[in-house]
Structure 1
């Protein structure tokens, strides 16, 4: 094998082989899990959703209130001989809901169901984030390999042009041969610049997702538990896909909302205790000489209050019909989500299998292109091939190697996307180290039964890290010792 073939093959292998020290996909997952604003924002949104259970429960709990009033009567009716000049009053009331027509019970059930849906949404956000991280990770690896391949190609074409010029000087080749070599070199330089731009774009996307610059990335580990058939994948997805599970919970919550709306026409019963106190501050009866009136008044009552709706302008019926329509919408969205999950799972399975076949074909194409280039060079040495034939063979080899690198990237991304569609690409499935995983159930258990009015959490601080201080990435890739191409 020629030096050029050895160099290009080594470059492609090095881009997908394990260096001594490098970033790993697991480290990228951990960094994204701990610092990505999309995920931390979704966690905060879920904590807000948790509070709806406590809010719904509050409507079924006792409520108490008090009032205080000071009044100065600076203008009194002339016939009001006992009117006070001023008064101080206070009152209080405690109401205890006894029966609310089922509205509180159903509102609590609905809120709990939506909390469950939100937790599934959070799982879906994790899977989506990790899928994007995998794509960004593999994009950087692919584009680094492509840059190295194109840079090596520029180096080889530079050597070819120099050799072609030397042979032209001695009359062995024509000016056309030199022009063809020069044209291919300039095209290769342009492709190298495009590859560098693609690498920078991939690195920027990686930084936006992971919050760190990519180092020397190691090849990712093999993907576990990939299905054998698309039907197997779909069956798993229908049971475990978080988006589908969330849609089921929301459809159930929308159905519960119908019963909540129907409670508006039912009687309500509440117990109450109330009392008041008034002090006229020795000004009651001040217009009557010698009057000695009691300057304080107080009263208290306790009882049951029954409220029976008779007519509300059609509002309850409209609310019921509205809830029924939204329930229908939720079930339609459930079917829509199920369709999408099935389609995504089958498409990901097909892409994964196709990429595996492309890898096999590309490996054979690389081997054949290497052999072809050696043969063309040998035939050129005896005058049976032209310089253009050599240039075409070199381009075919480069194309095959780029296709192989791209196919390996596509295969891994499609495989991970398939796992995500099956509901097996979340933090708990990946076994991430670097700290405890976020458990949304802990916050829900903490707040679901809280009833104290003045209990709140500290003001939030951002969990995500900013990337403004990360230097702009470059397209520099660590060269191999054999890579002496011109920059």
Structure 2
């Protein structure tokens, strides 16, 4: 009986131990599963947070580096494809000049002749190799006019390269001025929010003491929210202008510009009689005139004869060719060749007439280009003078509004003779005055950029002369 009781105790103990062990194992497995799920969720959270940080770094964070306007322009002209296109066209034109000058040198060639010939009622098949040479002696200016024509086209391509460089530099400088405009406006918006927040905190203190009504607190808070909304709009415009500048510069990094402008920009519209001889638009027109003049000379030269010295050596390959007994296997000849067109359906006279019309058109184009650059410069100069005069007036207006704002603040907080609305309106008017000054200043800088472009001074102002731009050295 005791034995049976002991066996039951052992069995119950064993069963209890197994149940407890299974429960512990299930708890451990559940804990492990929960830990694994938590780890996976934690990893996913870290990935999401990392992506969010990267997104914020690329979108929301301010740029860490700051460059100047000159550096931005130099970076833009160093890669822009429109400049690469004109440089490629220039290289092509320069090779065409080499091809035209080749007309002064001897021409060597070889012919393989095969055919059937008859001589003294006898005929036969003939094959021969001919080596020939030809040297121009006199052509009444055909080759020289071809060289002049190719040279004029190459110079027009050079002017086109300068024009593309100036255009990219102008567009980049304009985009940079717009970035500076909205950077300044963003700073002004932040200053307005700070000023309104200071007023709101003082109004809240007065309200807590019973000196101001709840409506004053709400009114101040409304102005702060409006200022914050304005700041977001300004920030959106700033990001838009930055994207335009980044596109011109060929970079994906966010760009912040220093707020200064190069010295030559500020004095660009002050010259009374600038030298327009280096304006690319005028250089293109002058090169087109030189091209038309070369076409006139070429059309006249083609009506005259051409004298050349020709020589040839024939090596006959068939031993029984025609009269083999009387012909040598090698035959050579040297002779003067005078060739002249007599009738070609009126093509030569039509070419002369069309080239004369082209010359008249090119001459008028030079005058039109000169008038255009002078007009654009004078228009920008006159408008810039008006903005310079208005800046002093706007500065005086801002000082007056600032004094009135300070007076209203004292009268509201200390004397109680002014309402909060008067103070808030004065603060808003001061903000508008600052924005108007900033816009006027940056409009002036844009006009000064236009003056530089119209006078052909973009390369000098932005230190591009004497520099390698996409493998091409830009000379003054």
The answer to whether the aligner puts 1:312 opposite 2:350 as a matched pair is no
- 8 Å CA contact 2:465–2:474 kept in 1: the answer is no
Counterpart of 2:312 (choices 274, 298, 315) is 274
- 8 Å CA contact 1:352–1:414 kept in 2: the answer is yes
Q: Which moved more, 1:430-439 or 1:47-56?
A: 430-439
Change (3 A) 1:434 1:180: farther
Match of 1:31 in 2: 75
Count of aligned positions: 404
Superposed, 1:460-475 pairs within 5 Å as none
Match of 1:8 in 2: none
Match of 2:423 in 1: 390
Match of 2:233 in 1: 194
Question: Alignment RMSD, CA only?
Answer: 3.7
Match of 1:375 in 2: 407
Superposed, 1:57-456 pairs within 5 Å as 57-68=101-112, 89-157=128-196, 160=199, 170=210, 172-173=212-213, 175=215, 177=216, 180-212=219-251, 213=253, 214-215=255-256, 217-223=258-264, 226=267, 232-233=271-272, 235-280=273-318, 297-381=329-413, 382-427=415-460, 430-432=462-464, 436=468
Per the TM alignment, residue 199 of structure 1 is displaced from its structure 2 partner at its CA by 0.9
Match of 1:41 in 2: 85
Is the partner of 2:302 in helix, strand or coil? Answer: helix
- 8 Å CA contact 2:468–2:474 kept in 1: the answer is no
Per the TM alignment, residue 319 of structure 1 is displaced from its structure 2 partner at its CA by 1.0
Per the TM alignment, residue 198 of structure 1 is displaced from its structure 2 partner at its CA by 1.4
Scaled by the length of structure 1, the TM-score of the pair is 0.71
Is the partner of 2:261 in helix, strand or coil? Answer: coil
Per the TM alignment, residue 350 of structure 1 is displaced from its structure 2 partner at its CA by 1.8
**Residues of 1 paired with 2:145 and 2:133: CA distance?**
24
**Residues of 2 paired with 1:369 and 1:386: CA distance?**
17
Match of 2:34 in 1: none
Is the partner of 1:66 in helix, strand or coil? Answer: strand
- 8 Å CA contact 2:179–2:257 kept in 1: the answer is no
Change (3 A) 1:319 1:441: farther
Per the TM alignment, residue 116 of structure 1 is displaced from its structure 2 partner at its CA by 3.0
Per the TM alignment, residue 21 of structure 1 is displaced from its structure 2 partner at its CA by 7.9
Q: Which runs of 5+ in 2 are unaligned?
A: 1-63
**Residues of 1 paired with 2:341 and 2:389: CA distance?**
70
Higher share in helix: 2
Change (3 A) 1:69 1:164: farther
**Residues of 1 paired with 2:473 and 2:195: CA distance?**
60
Change (3 A) 1:142 1:58: same
1:21-80 CA-to-partner distances (Å, cap 9, x unmatched) read 842233223323433333333333222222232222233432222134689x9xxxxxx9
**In terms of Rg, which structure is larger?**
2
Is the partner of 2:258 in helix, strand or coil? Answer: coil
Per the TM alignment, residue 168 of structure 1 is displaced from its structure 2 partner at its CA by 6.4
- 8 Å CA contact 2:391–2:437 kept in 1: the answer is yes
Change (3 A) 1:410 1:225: closer
1:232-290 CA-to-partner distances (Å, cap 9, x unmatched) read 53x3244443322332232232123112112222112222112332323x7879xxxxx
**Residues of 2 paired with 1:32 and 1:421: CA distance?**
20
1:433-466 CA-to-partner distances (Å, cap 9, x unmatched) read 99656896899xxxxxxxxxxxxxxxxxxxxxxx
- The structure with higher relative contact order (CA 8 Å, sep 6+) is 1
Is the partner of 1:353 in helix, strand or coil? Answer: helix
1:362-385 CA-to-partner distances (Å, cap 9, x unmatched) read 322332222121122222233433
Change (3 A) 1:367 1:101: same
